[in-house]
Structure 1
Amino acid sequence: MVRTLLLIAALLTPAAAQAEPKANQLFGAHKAASRQAPEPIGSYARGCAAGLVQLPETGPTWQAMRLSRNRNWGHPEMIRFLQDLSVEATRHGWRGIYVGDISQPRGGPMTSGHASHQIGLDADIWMLPARRLNLSRAEREKISSAVVRTADQRGVTAEWTASHHAIMRAAALDPRVDRIFVAAAVKIEMCKTATPADTRWLQKIRPIYGHDAHFHVRLKCPADASGCETQKPTVAELSKGGNGCDETLMWWVTEYLNPPKPDPKQPKEPRPRGPRDYTMADLPQRCAAVLAAP
C-alpha cells in the first residue's frame, strides 16, 4: 500500500500531470469498497467515498438494475433511504422500485462520464414501476425504464401516473433528501396537480435535462461527514418560501429548447472539462488514500 501511495503522490506533481491517468479509470477499476469508515469526500460531482455499502441485488421491495456496471454502492444512509422508499412505493400501488446508478465501489468519476454520483449520496430510481422482483441478471441488462416525458419535452406521457407524484412527494418530504432531479415537464406537471395548500416540498423537485426515464435523488451530507461539501446554493437558500413553480421553471420548455443560434463570427467556446477529464489532482487529496486502501 505504501508503494501505491507514493506512486499516486508522484502522479500529483506538476511534472507528471500530463502523464497522470484519468481518475475515472482508476476508480472504475475497483470492484469493492475500501475497508474504511463510511465517509463521502468532496462534492457530488468531484469527489470519492470511503467505506461504501452495496445495495443487495434484490430485496423484498427493490431490485438493483444493470448489475454489470457495479454501481449499486452507496453511503449507508443512502442504502437505508432506498430501502425505506421502496417500502413507501408499495403504499402507492407499486410492488417496489428499480434502482439504477448509485455510485462505484469507491465513488469517484465514472467511466461513463456521469456528471455526479461520486460520493455515494446520489441514486437514480427508474420511472418504471417494479412489476416483478425476480428479474434475472440478464433481464436487468435488457429491460428499459418508462419514458414519462413527451418527445417535444413539453409534457408528460401516459406512463406518468399519480403514483409517481406520490412517491416523489414522499421522497421530497424525507428530511435526508436535499433535492430530486427530474425532467422539466415532470416538474411542471407536478406543479399543476399538487394540492394548492401543500406545495412547499416542490422546491426540492429540480428541473434538469436528461431525466425522462428516472428521477435522481440526492441526499444531504451526513451530519458527521466533515469532508463532504454541501451543494451551493442549498435548496433552503433557493426557496425563500417558494416552491419553484414560477416563470423560471418555464425557461426549460421555452428558451432552453429553442436557444438563440450561435453567431458564426464568434469563436466556439472550448468544451469545459468534465468527469471524463479529471485526474487525481482534480479530486480532494484524501481520495488518493481511498483509492489505495485495501
Structure 2
Amino acid sequence: MTAVPPVALQQSTEEVASTALARKVERNRQYAASLGWGAHLSAVRRALNPKRTGWDDAALVTEAAKWQARTGLAADGLIGPATWSLLRVAAGLGKDPAISAQLPDNGPGFYGTGPADRRYGRAETVRALQAVAAAWQQARPRGPRIGIGDIGLRGGGPITGHGSHRLGLDVDIRPLRDDGREAPVVQGHPGYSRALTQELVDRLRANGVLRVHFILFNDPGVRGVQRWDNHDNHLHVRFASPKAAPASQTAAPTAAVPVPQHAGGAAVRPAAAGTIALGTLTTLAPGPAGTAPPYRFSPEDLLWTARFIIGESGGRDDLETHAVLYAMFNRYALLTRRHYATFEAFLRAYSTPLQQVLKDWRAARRHMHRPDYVRTGDTYKAPAPPGIPRGQLRGFHRLQQSRWDQLPDAARSVAFRALTGAIPNPIGNATEFGSTWQYFRDAHRRSPNLAEWQQYTVTLAQRKGWSWIGPVPGIDQTKNAFFTDRRLAGLPRGAVRILPP
C-alpha cells in the first residue's frame, strides 16, 4: 500500500507571524479612524521613532510595540485607547492634566536642579521621589541630599534637550559624591561615590509607590542600571506608567462595528453592537441617591456622546471638553441615574443641542427670531412669558440625526477615549457647569472684570447649593465654570471612575 503523505494541518511559524501582523495592521487602521490619530500620522511616527525614515503599516506596528515596551505598556503594537492616551501627549498633540504635580525646589532629603518649570510629573512620580528622598534623609541626616533635575513640563509633551521626559514618568538624578558636596559629578571621576549611587539605585527600585521600569547609567559596577550613551553624569529613571494597557485592547475596536444610527429620534441597534468594547461607569462611594450599580456604556451612548461634544464644545479635543464630559459622567452616576435608564437618554434630556424641542423657554426666547428656528405649533407655559413658541434650531436637529461616519474625527476620538476610560478626570466630583461670564452679561448688560466674574460665580454657587471648584490649570472657566453639588461634599475626590473594557 502506498503511503499517503500527511496533510499539513498547521501553519508554519512564518505564516502565523505574517497573519498576526496582518491582523494588527488592520486593527491599527481601524484605531486610526476611530481614535483620530490617523490625521496626525507624521507626529505619531516622530514620537515613536524620530530617526526612522522608512515607514509602512508593518513598521508602525513594530515601532509602536517598542515604544510601548519602553513606556511600560503591553507591547502588542496596537495604538488603541490606552496607548493613544499617552502617545498623543508624547507627540505633542494634547496635554494630560494628570501631569501637574511639581517637585519643589527642595524638601526632606533632596534638592532640585535646573528650572522649576521642568520638574512637573505625575503625582505618583513625585510621591515616589519624595518617599525615596525622605528615607534617604532618615538614613543619612547629614547628607548629601539627592539632586533631582528634569522631570517634564506641566501637562507633558516634548521638552527641549530630551527625546523623552514627555509623560511625567522620567526623571534625571545626579550620581552621589563621596566628599559630601551637593554638586555635579561624572561616574569614574574624582569625587564620585559608587557605593552611595548604588544605595540610591536600590532605594529607587524599592520606593513602594511606583514601579521603576528602568534606570539608565553608565557605571558598569552599579547593579540595576542599563548602559546608554551620554548617561555618565546622571541617572535617567523611568517609572512604569500607572495606566496599564487593558487586556482587551487587542479586541476589535469600535470602528470595526457599525455604530447605531438614529432617524427622527428612533434608535436602530445593529445585531453586532454587543461586540463593541466600551468601558463601565462605576462609583467609589454612594451618592445622595444611594449606590448606583456599574453601568456598561453602549454604542448608542458612544454616538450621542460624540454629538454632545459637537453641540457643547464645537467638537474640540481639549481639557475643557474633557471637563464637560466628566461633569456629565459625575451627574449621571451620582445624581440622576435613577431617572434615566441609559447615559444617552440623560445626555439628550440635559443638553440643549440634543433636545428635540428646547426644554428651557429662555433658550427658545433667545433663538425664536432666527430663520432656522423650527416651531412645533405650541407655546411655553408659565412661568414663561406668553407667546414664546416651542421649537428647536434646524442645525441641532441635523446634529441629532448625523451618522457616526459624518461626525468629525476629533469628536469621535474624544467620545471613544472617554467611554473607554482613557481620559483623566480634571474636575473631581463637579456635576454642574455654566457660562457665568455670560450670565453676568445677561444680568448687567456688560462684561465683568475678573474680580466681578469670580464674585458672581461664587455667589451663584451659594444660591444654587453648589461649590465652585476654583481655578483649574488649563481650563478657562470664564467659558464654563464648574461646580460641585454640596450633597457630594463627603465623597472622595474622583468618586466616579470609568473602567476600561
Give the alignment's TM-score, normalised by structure 2: 0.30
- Which has the greater radius of gyration? 2
Which protein has the bigger helix share? 2
Give the alignment's TM-score, normalised by structure 1: 0.48
Q: Which has the higher contact order (CA 8 A, sep 6+)?
A: 1
